[in-house]
Amino acid sequence: MEPRAHIQKEASSMQRAENIASELNDALRYGQREKVLELLERGVDVNCKDEAGKTALILAVQRKNTSLVEALLDRDDIKIDEAGEDGQTALAVAVEKNTYDMAEMLCKKGARTDIGELVAVANRNRASKMACLLLKYNTMFVPTKPDKWEPKSKRWRHQLQSLHKMYHPMIGKLKVFQRTSQRIQDNIYLGLYDEMEVAVWIHHRAEGVKEKTFLGQCGSCEHLLKLFQSEQEKGCMYLCFPLWEKNLEEHLQDPEDQKDPKGILKMIFQAVRELHSLGFAHQSLHPKNFLIDLGGKIYLTDFDSTRKLTEGKTEVINKDLENLSKLMLYVLTGGRKPLNEVSTKDMDAGSMDYEEALDLIDSLASHDERGLEDLSKHPYFWSKQKKFNVLKNIWNKIKDLTDDDKEDAFNTLNAGKPVLYPNWIKQIDREILRIMTTVNGKKKFYEKNIAHLLRFIRNLDEHPNKRISEIAGDHAEYFLKLFPKLTIHAYNRLRRHPRYSHFIDIQDPSS
């Protein structure tokens, strides 16, 4: 999203701010009044927070240091209503510690008195004078109510409950707390927008406006990260997205998660196609850049490296295809090795989709002329039943051809070296073969080539036999396991032929 250099610069300035915050808050913690005043004169950010999210003002109130509280309240840039991770503001701390003078100073300076249970705390402390002060500044008595709000997210449940309970000044309808405990990743925090769970990406305003403009184009896309809402405050833009549970890398490496590699890859392919349709190439298709929500839906994000597509600039599309090839390998091998180390040797050769997967991976890596749109319809994505139906359909189409055309189709299918399954007849179960080659007492002959293997498959399935079904079980599974290279061979031989390419074009009954 933001350029990398900008992120690094921001991270560096954030580190400096944290160092200054630490210096200021240490001085406050140890009562070093002169050191605090010196830092204030140097113009430090008085609203920076320590590791517990407490501002200098909260720490000064905790130490009951009246002069430092006065000095901080004299600053025009003080955020008087900031809260720590425990949800307590400076006024809440003053009430809890029964420091009347500090509470009065804070009230006079406009501290909010409508948050928390201030009067109830004062009453528990038997501090009637404090209670009268709070009531003077329109504090309402709020009876304690249990917080029954439950987040939808499983992963972020604890942090979201904490955020919901704590007081923190709202930014429009957004509640977000920029602390480590609430951080999802660099510059992204958990948030609640009108009580909806969101991920909040915080930008400087100029960068945020640019980012918001780009994200506006993604609104109609199903698998690109969508902007939900946004808020602005004091030079910052808060971009809110529907909350995700994990990224793809985390999902694949979690042994408790159920994996559906084909389903994952379908959504990944669609996401990249959607981005290309907007006129952009991603250039950084890393597992961390694919986010998964609670329902298992995948979204592509991190558009830092995107490049606008211009006519003739095929190299950027080719890079996306190469990255997609690596990513497919990574998904199929369960993320067991880093993205750049995985190879086809790590794949499960026993998988029913192994041959189709290899072909698709190679097609992506070699910048196949079909492009991503057609490769998204590759046999790897077909169901078991569609593969079987396509094989049967090929013979049904061939048998209706004239003799000359039939011979041409045979030659097309049987071509290739080495010859595929030259002894396929010997691979068939002997009992099944006996039943299929004896019809009404007459012998039926099949030639040892691919075309006649397709004929055999079609005849077996079109003429059910109880004994064959007992031996073979599911017909599709039986043949696809016995001849794993058959589908991709027939597909590639026919799709390139202008007269027979439609033989493989049938609807998937299981879709």
Which two three-digit tokens encode residue 296?
A: 């298992």
**pLDDT beneath 70: ranges in the chain:** 1-33, 36, 40, 43, 140-147, 310-312, 508-511
Residues 177, 165: Cα–Cα separation, whole Å: 12
Contact indicator for 342, 330 with CB cutoff of 8 Å: yes
CA distances in angstroms from 294 to 116, 151, 197, 257, 455, listed in the order given = 32, 11, 12, 12, 46
Which two three-digit tokens encode residue 27?
A: 């001085």
CA dihedral 379, 381, 385, 388 (to 10 degrees): 10
What are the structural domains, with CATH classification, of the chain? Answer: 4-136 (1.25.40.20), 157-242 (3.30.200.20), 246-381 (1.10.510.10), 385-504 (1.20.1440.180)
Q: In this predicted structure, what is the pLDDT of residue 176?
A: 92
Contact indicator for 224, 300 with CB cutoff of 8 Å: yes
Enumerate long-range contacts of 365-374, CB under 8 Å, 24 or more apart: 365/321, 365/322, 365/325, 367/314, 367/318, 367/321, 367/322, 368/321, 371/317, 372/269, 372/272, 372/273, 372/276, 372/317, 372/320, 372/321, 372/324, 373/273
Residue 93: closest CA among 126, 121, 128 = 121
| pLDDT tens string 169-200 | 789 999 998 888 899 988 899 999 998 999 99
CA distances in angstroms from 8 to 179, 181, 188, 234, listed in the order given = 19, 21, 15, 22
Q: In this predicted structure, what is the pLDDT of residue 509?
A: 60
Q: In this predicted structure, what is the pLDDT of residue 17?
A: 42
- Amino acid at site 126: R
Residues 6+ apart with CB under 8 A from 411: none
State which H helix or E strand residue 249 sits in. helix 248-253
| pLDDT tens string 139-150 | 765 555 566 789
CA distances in angstroms from 421 to 327, 345, 406, 445, 485, listed in the order given = 32, 23, 20, 17, 9
Residues 495, 417: Cα–Cα separation, whole Å: 18
pTM of the predicted protein model: 0.77
Residues 100, 89: Cα–Cα separation, whole Å: 15
Angle at 217 between CA 212 and CA 218, to 5 degrees: 95
Which two three-digit tokens encode residue 416?
A: 């290739």
Contact indicator for 279, 300 with CB cutoff of 8 Å: no
Q: Is 288 exposed, middle or buried (0-12, 13-18, 19+ CB in 10 A)?
A: middle
